[in-house]
Amino acid sequence: MTDSIRNHWDKVYTRKAENEVSWFEDVPAVSLELIAAAGATRHSSIIDVGGGASRLADALLAAGFDAVSVLDISPAALESAKARLGPRADRVTWLVADVTRWDPDRTYDVWHDRAAFHFLVKPEDQAAYVERLTKGIAPDGAVIIGTFALDGPQMCSGLPVQRYDGATLAKTLGRSFELIETRRHQHRTPANAVQNFQFSRLRRVRAP
Ligand SMILES: C[S@@+](CC[C@H](N)C(=O)[O-])C[C@H]1O[C@@H](n2cnc3c(N)ncnc32)[C@H](O)[C@@H]1O
């Protein structure tokens, strides 16, 4: 499965300019607000899962964060981000991996995911993600996941997505995560369409 997914995303990132993909955002404002709300400090370790060519890494570096990682299944996506960042790319840890098969060898204070988890539509893939999340998040760590909302689009990049609100997301992540807040967000695509997102912030709780 990994190969076909990677090929899909590599094609997208090779054929389209950064600001031609529907999920492009110049400033990842909601993500930055929620990372701040989680109490992250400049030395907090932050991983952007399915980060692709997002400008979140740029914004975090500019804000002084010094332990930023970006994971994505698509090498082309990460190459695009690195090219944009230039020498600043050396300050980011880049990880090419399918998150559903990845074996985190450390924990992170903040786990951020905008529009990657929602591509996992099979319960077994969602469970595999939650297993990696549970292993990769620090005790009391913050989890920020943005997905299409229940009234958002049913597809993205030609692929079906699973839509959530805060409650259904928290239920899918299970009892190891406590829902702290949910925000609705209207994303305006480069083609000027509006997509309804939900962003939820959760906290890793000690073993229930
Ligand atoms: C809609 S894009 C969002 C990218 C980025 N988070 C942003 O906000 O710009 C989805 C991203 O998830 C990545 N992705 C999809 N499935 C993945 C998987 N199983 N493991 C890791 N990354 C994945 C894709 O390569 C793509 O970069």
Q: What is the pLDDT of residues 115-164, one digit of tens each?
A: 999 999 999 999 999 999 999 999 999 999 999 999 999 999 999 999 99
Structural domains counted in the chain: 1
Query: Ligand 1: distance of its center to the CA of 50 in Å?
Result: 4
Structural domain including 99 reads 2-204
Query: Mean per-residue pLDDT for 157-176?
Result: 98
For atom 8 of ligand 1, the residue with the nearest CA is 114
Q: Report if pTM > 0.75.
A: yes
Query: Mean per-residue pLDDT for 179-206?
Result: 97
Quick: pLDDT tens for 43-62: 999 999 999 999 999 999 99
pLDDT higher at 13 or 208? 13
Contact indicator for 65, 45 with CB cutoff of 8 Å? no
For atom 18 of ligand 1, the residue with the nearest CA is 98
pLDDT of 2 reads 86
Contact indicator for 71, 47 with CB cutoff of 8 Å? yes
- Residue 1 binned pLDDT confidence (cut-offs 50, 70, 90): low
DSSP the chain: -HHHHHHHHHHHHHHS-GGGSTT--SS-HHHHHHHHHTT--TTS-EEEET-TT-THHHHHHHTT---EEEEES-HHHHHHHHHHHGGGGGGEEEEE--TTT---SS-EEEEEEESSGGG--SHHHHHHHHHHHHHHEEEEEEEEEEEEBTTS-SEETTEE---B-HHHHHHHH-TTEEEEEEEEEEEEPTTS-EEEEEEEEEEEPSP-
Binding pocket residue ranges, ligand 1, CB within 6 Å: 5, 9, 23, 50-52, 54, 72-74, 77, 98-100, 114-116, 119, 156-157
Quick: pLDDT tens for 4-48: 999 999 999 999 999 999 999 999 999 999 999 999 999 999 999
- Residue 70 binned pLDDT confidence (cut-offs 50, 70, 90): very high
- pLDDT exceeds 80 at position 208: no
The enclosing domain of 20 has a CATH number of 3.40.50.150
pLDDT of 93 reads 98
- Residue 206 binned pLDDT confidence (cut-offs 50, 70, 90): confident
CA distance 129 to 74: 17
Contact indicator for 44, 68 with CB cutoff of 8 Å? no
